[in-house]
Structure 1
């Protein structure tokens, strides 16, 4: 049984939608579910978003946040050498890498680490030329040479 969608017909008829179709195709692929570290994504306003990740045990020097075009990558790697012999290890402390696909014009505003929670604030900033603008309608004059013609027909009563 086929579990993926075939977007090929849309590639043939849509121009300029390649990234959207590639994102849909990537989202439809079944991948191993990696649920660590847990995270929340919140919409704070019309153009403001926040990602909060629980990264207990990681310090600022252990975390790296990079944004390349429309991809935000948060990764963590413990630097310290721990020579202890654990009888039980319940606190996750392994390396991780979490990727977030960002829409066009979404930028990282700031990031902070407080009480084991990494917070990344994002904002969508549309360039002026992409924002909707109102077009004024002026009172114009008729085009030269364009006269209104009236067709009259004589009607006879039946």
Structure 2
């Protein structure tokens, strides 16, 4: 018995990658570090921004990495254990993380900054050009 998927309709052509992306999103579940996603309205200064804010208290800029791979924004954090310190109690662990966000076509990263334990990443999506193209029909005898 074959499995029916939402994108198995013969009218949806070329959406195989979307189905794989949705499966990948469904598997992501770690809530660390906490984050916000907000729209920043820029009146008359270009398209609105989307800002991702991650709570990364205790991480230094050199502990963080922000990269794009294909259509993904990947944020990694690695803290090294300080072996010179002797903890009597350790409630704040040196934890590493990786957080991935899927980007729509045309999205670009405007910048990233670390301030007061928060990592801000600004993204912009320029308005796409509307392309209309007429396809000529060839007559075959």
- TM category (shorter chain) comes to 0.7 to 0.9
Paired residues for 1:46-125 under 5 Å:
47-79=48-80, 81-125=82-126
Q: Is the 2:38–2:50 contact (alpha carbons within 8 Å) kept by the matching residues of 1?
A: yes
Q: Which 10-residue stretch deviates more, 12-21 or 101-110?
A: 12-21
Q: Is the 2:7–2:19 contact (alpha carbons within 8 Å) kept by the matching residues of 1?
A: no
Candidates 16, 19, 33, aligned match of 2:17: 19
1:96 and 1:9 mapped to 2: Cα distance?
Answer: 32
Q: Deviations over 1:98-122 (max 9, x none)?
A: 1111111111100000010000000
Aligned length: 125
Q: Does 1:7 align with 2:5?
A: yes
Residue equivalent to 1:39: 35
With over 3 angstroms needed to count, the CA separation of the structure-2 counterparts of 1:104 and 1:117, relative to structure 1, is: same
List 4+ stretches of structure 1 deviating above 4 A.
none
Secondary structure of residue in 1 paired with 2:87: coil
Q: Deviations over 1:49-79 (max 9, x none)?
A: 0000000100011100001121011001124
Q: Which runs of 5 or more residues in structure 2 are unaligned?
A: 42-46, 133-141
What TM-score do the two structures reach when normalised by structure 2? 0.74
Q: Is the 1:7–1:25 contact (alpha carbons within 8 Å) kept by the matching residues of 2?
A: no
Secondary structure of residue in 2 paired with 1:10: coil
Q: Which has the larger radius of gyration?
A: 1
Residue equivalent to 2:136: none
